[in-house]
Structure 1
Amino acid sequence: MRFEKQVQIEAPRQEIWALLWDVPRVVRCIPGCDAAETIEPYQQYQATVQEKVGPFKIRIPLDIEVVTHEAPERLVANAKGRDGKLQSHLKIELDLTLVALAPQVTALNVRADVAVLGKLGTLGHSVIVRKGNEIVGQFATALQAELQPKEGC
């Protein structure tokens, strides 16, 4: 299934681009992501995400591969993982684009093709898309907060 969402972030495109590659900072912005590590910079990463989706609480270790990146405007990545407890598989093809709308305003366009198999897949399209859109919204809000100047710094 595919979902697409656009959110506006009050920050220059270059700052957002830099944040996307700063693993410790970006982890704080991803809902449910409690661990991530760089395997090979700009190419391979691993992350663990746990989230409640419908009646299920999932915990999925993800292998993430960057397919292409064109600084500072586009990032394409694939992620796949498995929740052994629920016998569910998740595969995500993610395409992020950053469009400068003004010097301090950037549109983050998210397109994700998601395949969900196993118990998690029984929830249906609408539940998974709703959760995906919720996660993207929370990510954008957290990204905006992460980019704000910290008082006392």
Structure 2
Amino acid sequence: MQLNGSVNINAPRQKVWQFLTNPDAVARCAPGVESMEVIEPNKKFKVVASVGFGTVKVKFNTDVELTELNPPTSGTIKARGTGQGNTANVVASFMLSDGDNRTTDLAWTADVTIVGSIAGMATRLMSSVTQNLSGKFFECMKAQVEIAEGVIEAPVAQPGFFGRLIQAIREFFARLFGSKTEAR
């Protein structure tokens, strides 16, 4: 199956290149990644990732290699994953070019082949699954690079139910006893 897409990132090309060739950064944004081990820095690594195809989830042990790297313009990523009687082969290429106002245009293509018991199911669901996974990856990547560049602010965690409850209790006792509470 052939896939492609593009995204504009509000950061210089070199910063986008650094992200795409950093296995730790990529692993943090890749949906389903459970672990990543560097075999050869900036070149080869092993990844364990789970991918869901409808109600079926398959864990792949994957060898990944960055090849044909032309800093900071283009590169190719080759991955071969096996798991539970299935094999997934991916060859993805990316091209970086300067956009307007110090932005970077990233165009990518991928050729994905799945063989095994999920191949029939994967073919029917592949388009939606891969669009969802690639969308999540590029959304995360864009945010991470732009946060590092100071273009956007990192989201501030909002207190959950218990955090709000504790704050309300503090405020209640502060009013009851006439003292101010510090925001924590």
Q: Same fold (TM over 0.5)?
A: yes
Percent identity at matched positions?
23
Question: Which residue in the other structure is 1:13 paired with?
Answer: 13
Question: Which residue in the other structure is 2:163 paired with?
Answer: none
Instruction: Summarize the alignment of residues 48-67 of structure 1 with structure 2, pairs less than 5 Å apart.
Output: 48-67=48-67
Measured against aligned partners, the alpha-carbon deviations of 1:30-60 in whole angstroms (never above 9, x if no partner) come to: 1111211211123211111112122210110
Question: Which residue in the other structure is 1:3 paired with?
Answer: 3
Separation in 1, partners of 2:23, 2:11 = 19
Question: Which residue in the other structure is 2:119 paired with?
Answer: 121
Separation in 2, partners of 1:6, 1:127 = 21
Quick check: 1:49–1:61 contact (8 Å CA) kept in 2?
yes
Q: Which runs of 5+ in 1 are unaligned?
A: none
Question: Which residue in the other structure is 1:92 paired with?
Answer: 90
The alignment covers a number of residue pairs equal to 149
Higher helix share: 2
Q: Considering only CA atoms, is the larger Rg found in Structure 1 or Structure 2?
A: 2
Q: CA deviation at 1:24?
A: 2.1
Q: CA deviation at 1:129?
A: 2.0
- Higher-RCO chain (CA-CA 8 Å, sequence separation at least 6): 1
Which residue among 130, 133, 138 is the counterpart of 1:132? 130
Name the aligned partner's letter for residue 80 of structure 2: K
Q: CA deviation at 1:118?
A: 1.1
Separation in 2, partners of 1:88, 1:24 = 26
Local SS of the residue matching 1:36: strand
Higher strand share: 1
TM-score, normalised to structure 1, is 0.88
Quick check: 2:98–2:104 contact (8 Å CA) kept in 1?
yes
Separation in 1, partners of 2:2, 2:21 = 24
Separation in 1, partners of 2:34, 2:122 = 26
Local SS of the residue matching 1:17: helix
Separation in 2, partners of 1:129, 1:100 = 29
Q: CA deviation at 1:126?
A: 4.6
Evaluate the alpha carbon distance shift between residue 105 and residue 62 of structure 1 in structure 2; reply closer, same or farther with a 3 A threshold: same
Separation in 2, partners of 1:110, 1:128 = 17
Separation in 2, partners of 1:91, 1:100 = 30
Question: Higher mean Cα deviation, 52-61 or 119-128?
Answer: 119-128
TM-score, normalised to structure 2, is 0.74
